[in-house]
Amino acid sequence: MSSQNIYILGIESSCDDTAASVIHNGKILSNVIASQKIHEEFGGVVPELASRAHQQNIVPVVHQALKKAGITKDQLHAIAFTRGPGLMGSLLVGTSFAKSLAYGLNIPLIDVNHMQAHILAHFIDEEGFEKPSFPFIAMTISGGHTQIVEVKSYFDMTVIGETIDDAVGEAYDKSGKILGLGYPAGPEIDKRAQQGNPKAFPFTKPKVDGLNFSFSGLKTAILYFVQREVKANPNFVEENLNDICASIQYTIIGILIDKLKRASKQTGIKHIAIGGGVSANSGIRQALKDGEQKFGWTTYVPKFEFTTDNAAMIAIVGYLKYLEGNFAEQSVTASARLKI
């Protein structure tokens, strides 16, 4: 089967990005994303607005993906789509479109777990990027998820640690809101952190057993810290913004690396991969690279465009499932809380 010329269309609509991608035998031919700016004024994603925007965007995005790939829809061998997890209204748009298109073209339908896709994005054929060796540990970090996953093969994955409250992306966004930054706050905090002193303001790391995470306590500590300092000096945030951002980022990275160290020790696995939107963070990428020298890790960081929500990662999972003949029925439904 792998010797054939296989074209898969991947569709991603789990949150606020409508995306479509065409993959040819493991190589991405197109990766089109329509982002929704409307949520910025609300300081977070509004589910109803997101699903309406998906309905407007999905046809032109798929059309553009096919056009950029230089193929027609009749050359497709299968349609892969995000079944979950995500916002139900958003997932329904992508699921319904994928099911209809696959039915109309009389080709297989492939359902994809969004979190698995963040991990398997590492297996896209991309020059200059090495693919992880099995088994490896994957840390998926995004606005909605923070997980440590033991990966034994493409579809043999076990979640060995996860957040018990906020995801790491939420910690960034909520901290940013406290500091008066826009949404999403992660990139702005990362940018300012590079110009600040990471040890200017020490924040206590939450104590959580095992490999699980907690970020809600850190957010509360940052809130009380800012309120206390602003009471003494109304210009405190403005005068110390870079140092505050650097200190927040330093604490978050410390939490993540501590858990990865423990996961590596517990499993005996030294191949470490990261994925998800927050893996675009420069500080986290550098800390992971530093782990190669400090802890003897072999680390894998995805290409920047494959970190945030995108359809290329859906397409690669679709391709891998296609090779196994692992198809979905037309009765498949979206699942907002789909587990790995």
Q: Which two tokens stand for residue 255?
A: 């939490």
Please indicate if the annotation marks 140 as binding a ligand: yes
Distances (CA, A) of 102 to 59, 110, 286: 14, 9, 42
Instruction: Tell whether residue 173 is among the known ligand binding residues.
Output: yes
Residue 143 assigned as binding residue = yes
Does 281 count as an annotated binding residue?
yes
Locate 322 and state its tokens: 């296609």
114 assigned to a ligand binding site: yes
Residue with tokens 């032109």: 60
In angstroms, what CA-CA distances link 327 with 63, 83, 157, 241, 321? Answer: 23, 13, 19, 50, 7
Is 142 part of any known ligand binding site? yes
- Cβ within 8 Å of residue 21, ≥6 positions away: 9, 10, 12, 28, 30, 31, 32, 65, 310, 311, 312, 314, 315
The answer to whether 185 and 133 are in contact (CB under 8 A) is no
d(CA 239, CA 88): 42
Residue for token pair 């104590």:
207
Is 290 marked as binding a ligand?
no
Distance CA 274, CA 311 (A): 18
Encoded amino acid at 64, one letter:
Q
Is 318 known to sit in a ligand binding site? no
Pairing of strands 271-275, 136-141: parallel
Q: Which tokens belong to 321?
A: 């499932």
The annotated binding site is made up of 114, 118, 140-144, 173, 186, 190, 281, 309
The annotated binding site for Fe cation is made up of 114, 118, 309
The annotated binding site for substrate is made up of 140-144, 173, 186, 190, 281
